[in-house]
Structure 1
């Protein structure tokens, strides 16, 4: 990987500008015995194990490893709904600081779709995480004016630092393909970021390949291997994810189509039905 090339490309800002994530602190302190976190559609979690030993449990078949033992300070990132349990000692439990995560677009959020169900990272593995965690713990552990609000924002900072780490260490994070793998390649990242920033532009294969500094055939092959889809299909999915997010805010289909580069409202509706399985109107009725 060309670290210099990647350091010159901001791979996250365009994504997080379009699809924001909100963190809400809901626990700080000791947990004893068994604590279950139910799966809520559109809801993720970010847990920080600060001290202690515990067993992490999942339902069989929902993750590659149903049970894990943790014995060091660790980040546990659940990008989407997945039931999990903490099993701590019944008396002298483990210390946690935990937040619920709400991603714009829910399950259709491009980042959510590209991540495994659980990412487990020792705190010491993420460079620069210490100062942000120190601030987070200071606000979470004391009741002061604005402390809850500030703790929520600091959790979002921690999440961004974690996402940076995932982009630079996809294999260690358990990522095998999808958007994250594309953004981990310095050539593909340039093209993906350009598309994310200007979804309304025309993006034929030759233009994407030119941004990446590759031939059309080499770009198409590398893109498919990394992301599991074609450049054209990715562009359509990106636009439709944006369209869904925009329509949920009350934007008319005609206006959304024009802003995202679709030829007409009917062209957007047709593409939406093909990908989602229902018209924008029916989807909004179910997800508005």
Structure 2
């Protein structure tokens, strides 16, 4: 498996926050509406149920959850629990918010719902033991500790997904790229240092591949060209920095653009408006 850290550069720049909002049984049919910028992470530690996932186009899918599982919705997705967990079940729900929301490349790369049996991820057991022990024993700092433990569970799950892409049948995208030993080196380098003067040559050298082989494999596995991915990553960072009030000139220098005007041109070409106009629309 890749020896580089594939998650820290992503999660350090775009923080993930989880917040517990329910533990214990649910009554009958429970609907979780889609809300912009919010995902869900449910832990069914005991019991079983049916779940209906509703899409924006009006279609839906029924999924039977017959064993203890993690249910992860990385993007806003309406879903309904039918025959929800009973008094005999260990059950907990948290919201998930990622800086950048649906624009985050990792969020975009994930399927709309991940159902992961707990037995698949042995490393989850200690974190889940701590999580449910804290759920059952309300003490000082209880909410903060549970929220942090949910973050641990989420990162453990993402680790497993990166190490087991074949079991998820993932389409081309970032997750597939980070699961590839050579491409992961180049992607992680870009994530860690987006302002470096990356070229096809330097990225291929980082991946220990020839330029032609690297370019072809990157397109097949990630679904875009290295240059386009680099631009998307830089502009995703830029959008978060604009929201935070960072001046355009500072953003341009950090992301490797020769000037503020060069950055504004690249921003406008990709997003259809200037950084300041985009910020006004976003607000």
2:151 to 139, 150, 156: 156
CA apart distance, 1:216: 0.2
CA apart distance, 1:23: 0.4
Counterparts of residues 172-183 of structure 1 (less than 5 Å): 172-183=167-178
The equivalent of 1:186 in structure 2 is 181
Question: Kindly tell me: are residues 196 and 222 of structure 1, through their superposed partners in 2, closer, same or farther at Cα, counting changes over 3 Å?
Answer: same
The equivalent of 2:278 in structure 1 is 283
CA apart distance, 1:83: 0.4
TM-score w.r.t. the length of structure 1 is 0.93
Q: Answer whether contact 1:182 1:226 (CA < 8 A) is retained.
A: yes
Q: Answer whether contact 2:134 2:142 (CA < 8 A) is retained.
A: yes
1:19 to 14, 36, 40: 14
Q: Answer whether contact 1:63 1:117 (CA < 8 A) is retained.
A: no
Q: Distance in 2 between matches of 1:193 and 1:104?
A: 18
Deviations 1:154-199 (A, max 9, x none): 1001000000011111232242111111111100001111111111
Q: Distance in 2 between matches of 1:40 and 1:88?
A: 23
Q: Distance in 2 between matches of 1:62 and 1:143?
A: 42
The equivalent of 1:147 in structure 2 is 142
Q: Answer whether contact 1:29 1:97 (CA < 8 A) is retained.
A: yes
1:247 and 2:242 are equivalent in the alignment = yes
The equivalent of 2:114 in structure 1 is 119
Q: Which 4+ residue blocks in structure 1 deviate beyond 3 angstroms?
A: 60-65, 89-95
1:213 and 2:208 are equivalent in the alignment = yes
Q: Distance in 2 between matches of 1:68 and 1:218?
A: 40
2:98 to 94, 98, 103: 103
Q: Distance in 1 between matches of 2:219 and 2:6?
A: 19
The equivalent of 2:194 in structure 1 is 199
Q: Answer whether contact 1:139 1:148 (CA < 8 A) is retained.
A: no
CA apart distance, 1:111: 0.7
2:69 to 74, 77, 81: 74
Q: Distance in 2 between matches of 1:113 and 1:124?
A: 26
Q: Answer whether contact 2:110 2:175 (CA < 8 A) is retained.
A: yes
Q: Answer whether contact 1:269 1:279 (CA < 8 A) is retained.
A: yes
Q: Answer whether contact 2:50 2:84 (CA < 8 A) is retained.
A: no
| Larger CA deviation: 244-253 vs 268-277 | 268-277
2:254 to 235, 239, 259: 259
The equivalent of 1:232 in structure 2 is 227
1:43 to 34, 38, 43: 38
| Larger CA deviation: 221-230 vs 169-178 | 169-178
CA apart distance, 1:202: 0.5
Aligned length: 283
Q: Distance in 1 between matches of 2:114 and 2:250?
A: 38
Q: Distance in 1 between matches of 2:92 and 2:147?
A: 11
Alpha-carbon RMSD: 1.8
Q: Answer whether contact 2:38 2:76 (CA < 8 A) is retained.
A: yes
Determine helix, strand or coil for the equivalent of 2:6: coil
Determine helix, strand or coil for the equivalent of 1:30: coil
| Larger CA deviation: 60-69 vs 176-185 | 60-69
Which ranges in structure 2 are unaligned for 5 or more consecutive residues?
A: none
CA apart distance, 1:146: 0.3
